[in-house]
Structure 1
Amino acid sequence: MTRITTRPYPFRDSERLRQSGVHPVLARVYAARGLLDVKELESELSSLIAPSGLLHIGDAAIFLADSIAAKKKMVIVADYDCDGATACAVGLRGLRLLGANVDFIVPNRFEYGYGLTPEIVELTAREKSPDIIVTVDNGIASIDGVAEANRRGIEVVVTDHHLPADTLPAARVIVNPNQPECGFPSKNLAGVGVMFYVLLALRAEMRKRGIFDAQTQPKLDVLLDLVALGTVADVVKLDANNRILVAQGLKRMRAGRMHPGIAALFRAAGREARRATPFDLGFAVGPRLNAAGRLADMALGIECLTTDDEGRAWVIAQQLDTINKERREIEAGMQDTALALLDNFSPADSNTISVFDASWHQGVIGIVASRLKDKFFRPTITFAPGSDGMIKGSGRSIPGFHLRDALDLVSKHAPSLIEKFGGHAMAAGLTIRADAFETFSAAFE
């Protein structure tokens, strides 16, 4: 049965839009979606919020410009999801365009876990010998990792968008719209958006130094297909600023001006880039890239986005497509198990869902959590076995329930219960001891 429901809308906002020349029906639709001003409908790059609004971005630009001039070696430490992979590709391509000596490393999620851990710093130092580590889509919670880098004489630039804990890492500089005292109007930038902004500020600093002018400067808009993909795939809110980044990226894709890896992923997914939509990015291209981080190694996905060889990009895209099919099969099996475990679950009697199975795959629990959250409309955390008697959880939330803050509250009430956690309002991850599962479930509920 089809049911039509009327979405309420603020009459005053709708009237203001109508008086600005917007059609009455569209004015009601826009008002219902939270638009307050006709300017928020603009999608040109000139309407982007200026980078200067991001706290410490000027310091980051000066430090990176000095480091490029001194020919220092940078290594990007990336996260292993689509936002992390696109942020890494944007960082690599953009910094190289601006003359940097830069490499990357991406942790294997099953061996090293999330973020800039002391173990990742040790691995990076051993394999890459960097002067500087730049984190993308992670780092705001990496207090121990940054301390280890400092101990080794490696300076750290954190670029992230996740919510910080009470203490910030002692990095050389942190750029994150969600850090305390940052007045940037859009708190919804994805990790890839933050990295793109850092590049804009760095280029402006290099212009100021006379390294190039407005005519000779590298074109950073060539990175917008990557920015759009990471922004949509990370399911951040498409506020006015993010809509500009996504609209510009889609425009490039539809015009055929995209990187070989993105073109190859469209082809592998059986989608037409010249008719690209956010749906394609979120449900066709993004999942194929994410599959590498879930089941294999995201270095494969990053290579797909950074190679300029169309043949190589197509070979990798096909590999990613195969991994994604395997991911779907694993997910289907896990979902069946989850529904069996929740056979007697009554949403009326519970506010949350926590579920664990010893056969589950760490890389896919987040998707299963998302499916269960959609089915039962409850904040859901699914757990899979980790190592050394630990289990790892991945959670997805519903509007109005801030998942990361909820885990913070659990951690404050029972300080020894959660080993580590992080994330944002709608998605978060954590590690607990296997024997603490029932205690955690009760505390979360």
Structure 2
Amino acid sequence: MVRKQVIKQPEPSKVSALARGLPCTRITASVLVNRGITTVRQARSFLDSTVADLPSPFSIRDMDTAAGRICKAIENREIIMVFGDYDADGITSTAILVEFLKHAGARVKYYIPHRIMEGYGLKREHIASVAAKEKATLLITVDCGISSHEAAEACRESGIDLVITDHHKTESALPPALAVVNPSRADCPSGLSCLAGVGVTFYLLIALRAMLREKGFWNKIPEPNLKACCDLVAIGTVADIVPLVGANRILVKTGLEMINNRCRPGIEALIETAKLKRPAITSEDVAFRLAPRINAPGRIDHALRALELLRADSREETARLAGLLNRLNTRRQAIEEDIYSEISQVLLDRGHRMKNMRTIVLAHRQWHQGVIGIAASKAARRYCMPVALIAVNGDIGIGSARSIPGLDLYRVLKSCARLLEDFGGHEQAAGFKIKTENIPAFEKQFEYKVNMETGPEDFISSVDVDCELPFSAITPKLLDEITALQPFGTGNPEPIFFADNIRVVSSTMLNNRHRRMSLIQPGGNRPIDAIQFNTPQKQVNTGFFRRVLFRLRQNTWNRSGGPRLVIEDVTA
């Protein structure tokens, strides 16, 4: 696919002022200005903030009520039930809350539903079959609950206090819970709506620790070091694809520092299984190597397998569970590839009928509902269109949708609400439940609403380029500055640069797929190492490029620490 190159044009005066004030290179200043960071104060906050700079947890609505009730349950030795979601965000949320409560000596149980058998979220039947059965007097949800109105009513009827912690959007009235801790609720003044579920849970832990400290609780037992759970906070946050800015940036940066040094045994085993190299594990490694393995059990088996790994202590047990997650992830990849191949074939068969379409809506009775979300993401990127895939079982379909940049998918689904049994999610990813008889009408309404919300330019695949970077300007100082901008992700994309008139000095193919090259620019006296992943066949012998788009990284392959270019695109 040919992608449009959008070369950013940062205001020169702002670039100059930032370069002088920090100080830093003009290249780094350009990258910062491109991300809306235009003053020295903003840049210092972006680069230097730590967990000590996190906003107060009590700025989140209902946090004081939630923390107060949990403290009471700890002190009174009540049974607390933690109810989590089955994805990486929910699993890590469950792990850190259970870990904290157990450290505090609480009587705590936990439960994560089966994706296929039980579906998403806290339901009315869970109150009797899970909470009441365990004689819990307090039920805490993590990364779910904001739409669990019937379950909240059942809690009230059963005399069980319900504390909801969540981050998903809601358009309806809040459930009748004792406390609803969700920075995305309309009346929350915290400004923390970008938090993932695990971020909200971490803020709850900060509030609990502070409240228990005021009571003198930690005079009896050691006060927990909450930084120790930032490895899981980082993984859950990156996995949920929330913006890596503000509090999220601080939490992920702190967590990556831990992951690159020493973290809990379960993550150590997962790092070994994924063959990651310290000290260069990045948010990209978390997103594509660690998080998928944690997500895999919840997709095709049971999420408790992943939670067991995160809570395990012995090397033998963590090695066994990490191996299991690795095998499940391999199975998940095979299922995903089958679904994606079927999507590609259907669209190929439709041919010209797709030319005027702005969306892809497909349903199938054989698709695995735990994997369609990943296939939808892949299809949305490939075809640059919003995608909704539906796994049909009987007269009900479970759907997973993914968007394109700039299109609020949640708002699109809201316009289709009359055709849906349920829906929820974010701007870029959402899930829904639909009767099969409504799928044709949904397909039309989905297409109509996307057409109303977008223009032709939204469906052109593009790549944002920060600025030109001549090879002569690639210095150790610049490399350090670009590295300091990590972690990269949504909201803080990894910089992409361009350079012109590039000659290939030497090259070799790796695994017949990836081209490793030594590149030089006219007037240069030293070649720079580069790698082009999944090189198109027509480019494997190209010796000259008119333009190269690339990411600048430290070379960790040969431990030199020097520059390495990761080729994003080329013009021969």
Q: Which residue does the alignment assign to 2:493?
A: none
Residues 72, 132 of structure 1: 8 Å contact kept: yes
State the alpha-carbon separation in 2 of the partners of residues 178 and 399 from structure 1: 20
How far does residue 126 in structure 1 lie from its aligned partner after superposition?
Answer: 5.3
Out of 61-70 and 80-89, give the one that drifted further. 61-70
Of 360, 367, 370, the residue aligned with 1:360 is 367
State the alpha-carbon separation in 2 of the partners of residues 121 and 16 from structure 1: 59
Q: Which residue does the alignment assign to 1:18?
A: 19
Q: Does 1:261 align with 2:266?
A: yes
Q: Which residue does the alignment assign to 2:433?
A: 431
Of 312, 319, 328, the residue aligned with 2:317 is 312
How far does residue 5 in structure 1 lie from its aligned partner after superposition?
Answer: 4.4
Q: Which residue does the alignment assign to 1:385?
A: 392
Q: Does 1:421 align with 2:423?
A: yes
How far does residue 4 in structure 1 lie from its aligned partner after superposition?
Answer: 6.0
TM-score normalised over the length of structure 2: 0.74
State the alpha-carbon separation in 2 of the partners of residues 275 and 43 from structure 1: 21
Q: Does 1:199 align with 2:226?
A: no
Of 124, 127, 131, the residue aligned with 1:125 is 131
Q: Secondary structure at the match of 1:400?
A: coil
Out of 140-149 and 12-21, give the one that drifted further. 12-21
Q: Which residue does the alignment assign to 1:373?
A: 380
Deviations 1:378-435 (A, max 9, x none): 111101123x410110011112211112111111xxx2x1011111111110011112
Residues 42, 244 of structure 1: 8 Å contact kept: no
How far does residue 270 in structure 1 lie from its aligned partner after superposition?
Answer: 1.4
Q: Secondary structure at the match of 2:433?
A: strand
- Over 3 Å counting, the alpha-carbon distance change for 1:157 and 1:442 in structure 2 is same
How far does residue 216 in structure 1 lie from its aligned partner after superposition?
Answer: 4.3
State the alpha-carbon separation in 2 of the partners of residues 4 and 245 from structure 1: 32
Residues 14, 27 of structure 1: 8 Å contact kept: yes
Deviations 1:67-94 (A, max 9, x none): 1111111111111101011011011112
How far does residue 322 in structure 1 lie from its aligned partner after superposition?
Answer: 0.5
Deviations 1:128-172 (A, max 9, x none): 231111111101111111111221111111111100122110111
Q: Secondary structure at the match of 1:184?
A: coil
TM-score normalised over the length of structure 1: 0.94
State the alpha-carbon separation in 1 of the partners of residues 101 and 12 from structure 2: 47
Q: Report how many residues are paired.
A: 439
Q: Which residue does the alignment assign to 1:32?
A: 34
How far does residue 188 in structure 1 lie from its aligned partner after superposition?
Answer: 1.0
Q: Which residue does the alignment assign to 2:60?
A: 54
Q: Does 1:329 align with 2:334?
A: yes
- Aligned partner of 2:34: which letter? A
How far does residue 217 in structure 1 lie from its aligned partner after superposition?
Answer: 1.7
Residues 207, 214 of structure 1: 8 Å contact kept: no
Q: Which residue does the alignment assign to 1:406?
A: 412
* Structure with a larger share of its residues in helix: 1
The root-mean-square deviation of aligned C-alpha atoms, in Å, is 2.0
Residues 75, 105 of structure 1: 8 Å contact kept: yes
Q: Does 1:180 align with 2:174?
A: no
Deviations 1:213-255 (A, max 9, x none): 6994221111010000101111111012111101111111111
State the alpha-carbon separation in 2 of the partners of residues 310 and 303 from structure 1: 13
Q: Which residue does the alignment assign to 1:303?
A: 308
Percent of aligned positions that are identical: 33
Q: What residue ranges of structure 1 are gaps of 5+ in the alignment?
A: none
Of 65, 72, 87, the residue aligned with 1:66 is 72
- Over 3 Å counting, the alpha-carbon distance change for 1:308 and 1:43 in structure 2 is farther
How far does residue 283 in structure 1 lie from its aligned partner after superposition?
Answer: 0.3
State the alpha-carbon separation in 1 of the partners of residues 144 and 14 from structure 2: 37
Out of 42-51 and 230-239, give the one that drifted further. 42-51
- Aligned partner of 1:399: which letter? P
State the alpha-carbon separation in 2 of the partners of residues 9 and 235 from structure 1: 26
Residues 140, 162 of structure 2: 8 Å contact kept: yes
Q: Secondary structure at the match of 1:245?
A: helix
Out of 325-334 and 98-107, give the one that drifted further. 98-107
State the alpha-carbon separation in 2 of the partners of residues 287 and 222 from structure 1: 22
- Aligned partner of 1:370: which letter? S
Q: Which residue does the alignment assign to 1:251?
A: 257
Residues 155, 171 of structure 1: 8 Å contact kept: yes
- Aligned partner of 2:433: which letter? T
Q: Does 1:189 align with 2:189?
A: no
Q: Does 1:340 align with 2:345?
A: yes
Q: What residue ranges of structure 2 are gaps of 5+ in the alignment?
A: 448-572
State the alpha-carbon separation in 1 of the partners of residues 162 and 229 from structure 2: 24
- Over 3 Å counting, the alpha-carbon distance change for 1:44 and 1:367 in structure 2 is same
Residues 184, 192 of structure 2: 8 Å contact kept: no
1:68-107 aligned at under 5 Å gives the runs: 68-107=74-113
- Over 3 Å counting, the alpha-carbon distance change for 1:54 and 1:19 in structure 2 is farther
Q: Secondary structure at the match of 2:163?
A: strand
Residues 287, 324 of structure 1: 8 Å contact kept: yes
- Over 3 Å counting, the alpha-carbon distance change for 1:107 and 1:179 in structure 2 is same
State the alpha-carbon separation in 1 of the partners of residues 11 and 63 from structure 2: 36
State the alpha-carbon separation in 1 of the partners of residues 180 and 130 from structure 2: 20
State the alpha-carbon separation in 2 of the partners of residues 264 and 56 from structure 1: 37
How far does residue 357 in structure 1 lie from its aligned partner after superposition?
Answer: 1.5
- Aligned partner of 1:357: which letter? H
Out of 431-440 and 13-22, give the one that drifted further. 13-22
Deviations 1:184-210 (A, max 9, x none): 223211100100000100110111112
- Aligned partner of 1:318: which letter? G
Residues 107, 120 of structure 1: 8 Å contact kept: no
- Aligned partner of 1:376: which letter? Y
- Aligned partner of 2:385: which letter? R
State the alpha-carbon separation in 2 of the partners of residues 109 and 345 from structure 1: 35
Q: Which residue does the alignment assign to 2:7?
A: 6
- Aligned partner of 1:72: which letter? E
Q: Does 1:236 align with 2:237?
A: no
How far does residue 361 in structure 1 lie from its aligned partner after superposition?
Answer: 0.6
Q: Secondary structure at the match of 1:110?
A: coil
Q: Which residue does the alignment assign to 1:349?
A: 356
Q: Secondary structure at the match of 1:187?
A: coil
State the alpha-carbon separation in 2 of the partners of residues 153 and 205 from structure 1: 25
* Structure with a larger share of its residues in strand: 2
State the alpha-carbon separation in 1 of the partners of residues 307 and 258 from structure 2: 20
Of 277, 282, 290, the residue aligned with 1:285 is 290
- Over 3 Å counting, the alpha-carbon distance change for 1:16 and 1:165 in structure 2 is farther
Residues 380, 386 of structure 2: 8 Å contact kept: yes
- Aligned partner of 1:310: which letter? R
State the alpha-carbon separation in 1 of the partners of residues 207 and 131 from structure 2: 28
Residues 63, 181 of structure 2: 8 Å contact kept: yes
State the alpha-carbon separation in 2 of the partners of residues 215 and 341 from structure 1: 61
Out of 280-289 and 36-45, give the one that drifted further. 36-45
